[in-house]
Structure 1
Amino acid sequence: MAISVGDTLPEGQLIRIGNKGPEAVSISDLTKGRKVVFFAVPGAFTPTCHSAHVPSFIRTKSGFDVKGVDEIVCISVNDPFVMKAWGEATGAANAGISMLADADGSFTKAVGLDFTAPPAGLFGRSKRYALYADNGVVKTLHQEESPGTCEISGGEALLAAI
């Protein structure tokens, strides 16, 4: 069952590349007493994710700051090295967006937003969504019907909704 508004985000571990290599980031530590925007994509460097979804949050970062959002996190079922490289390639890292890996897809499965699309070569990936959580509780959730579109899950749409 997919997560919905009013639910508390499940505990999970995401991974980032820090100064000393890969490091785990717990969802509870990330969200405790904080306002956090999460947006998830089917895959780093994939067309819609690279040319639409990440850029929409780069464009709207200052608007989220004004609304008191403490952090914007991009999640993908990729390894942390790919997420680091993708953050650098898109400018997301320089914009202050955290690029975190859900390497084994466990968080994506825990929120019930995983999918598989063999014709596209996508296995165990995340549906495209964006959510706003306050102290770990989902306040706003926008999920795309198709992984190839980025309309209601883009930065502008989520910013307007919070």
Structure 2
Amino acid sequence: MALDVGSKVPSTKVKLVNAEGVKDIDFADLVAQGTSVIFAVPGAFTSTCHLNHMPGYIGHSADFKDAGVDRILCLSVNDHYVMQHWGEQTGALGFVDLIADGNADLAKALKLDKDFSAAGFGTRYVRSSLLVKDGVISHVEIETVPGEVVVSGAPHMLEEAKKNQ
């Protein structure tokens, strides 16, 4: 189960992929100030992630800004090359910043990791979303049905962001 509401986001080294390029960062520093909406996907370019999850956040990016969200972040256990290409292919760069967590260190620290070895994928994120304010988790959602994007999707998280303004 994910870290509890009220927990500080863990300090973990990852790669930030955005419109400016790729940069090594500490995730806790990135979300230390302001409001962040974060969604985690099992993998870039996978059908549900690519066709359903990411497009919703791109399409609602202005609505999130209007609701006081400073940044939208997508987490995945893929390397930064894959994440950069995915960001380019989806048009996410400039709207959604991508976090390449190639070794699943952040996934494990957030307790959002799942073993997908039976499918040949290794450790991945569970499909989930978080609202983080000034480095503290204020809301967590985890999908319970594989392949569905309901509670971790942009419309639901937009409503949560509006409630937590």
TM-score greater than 0.5 by the shorter chain: yes
User: Aligned pair in 2 of structure 1 residues 152, 18: CA closer, same or farther (>3 Å)?
Assistant: closer
Structure 2 match to 1:145? 144
Q: Do 2:18 and 2:96's aligned partners in 1 also have CA atoms closer than 8 Å?
A: no
Alpha-carbon distance change, 22 to 148 in structure 1, aligned in 2, over 3 angstroms:
same
CA distance in 1, matches of 2:25, 2:87: 17
- Count of equivalent residues: 161
Return closer, same or farther for 1:123/1:21 CA change in 2, 3 Å cut-off.
same
SS at match of 2:114: strand
Structure 2 counterpart of 1:74: 74
What runs of 5+ residues in structure 2 fail to find an aligned partner? none
> 1:16 Cα deviation (Å)?
3.0
Identity %: 37
- How far does the alpha carbon of each residue in 1:52-100 deviate from its partner, in whole angstroms, 9 at most, with x for none? 1001101111111011111101110000010000001111114x21011
Query: 2:17–2:100: 8 Å Cα contact kept in structure 1?
Result: no
CA distance in 2, matches of 1:21, 1:93: 9
Inter-partner Cα distance in structure 2 for 1:153 and 1:116: 19
2:14 matched residue in structure 1: 14
How much is the aligned-residue C-alpha RMSD, in angstroms? Answer: 1.8
Instruction: Indicate yes or no: 2:36 matched with 1:36.
Output: yes
Q: Counterpart of 2:160?
A: 161
C-alpha deviation, 1:112, in angstroms: 0.8
Given the alignment of the two structures, is residue 118 of structure 1 paired with residue 117 of structure 2, yes or no? Answer: yes
Q: What displacement does 1:122 show?
A: 2.0
Work out the CA distance in 2 between the residues paired with 1:18 and 1:93: 5
Cα offset, 1:119, TM superposition: 3.9
1:130-156 C-alpha deviation (Å, 9 max, x unpaired): 111000111111111134211110000
Question: Quick check: 1:56–1:154 contact (8 Å CA) kept in 2?
Answer: yes
CA 1:154–1:19: 2 relative to 1, 3 Å: closer
Contact 1:16 1:84 in 2 (8 A): no
Alpha-carbon contact 1:42-1:147 (below 8 Å) kept: no
Match of 2:47 in 1: 47
Partner-residue secondary structure (3-state), 2:93: helix
CA contact (8 A) 2:42 2:125 kept: yes
Cα distance in 1 for residues equivalent to 2:61 and 2:76? 19
Aligned equivalent of 1:131: 130
- Distance in 2 of aligned mates of 1:32 and 1:84: 24
What does residue 26 of structure 1 align with?
26
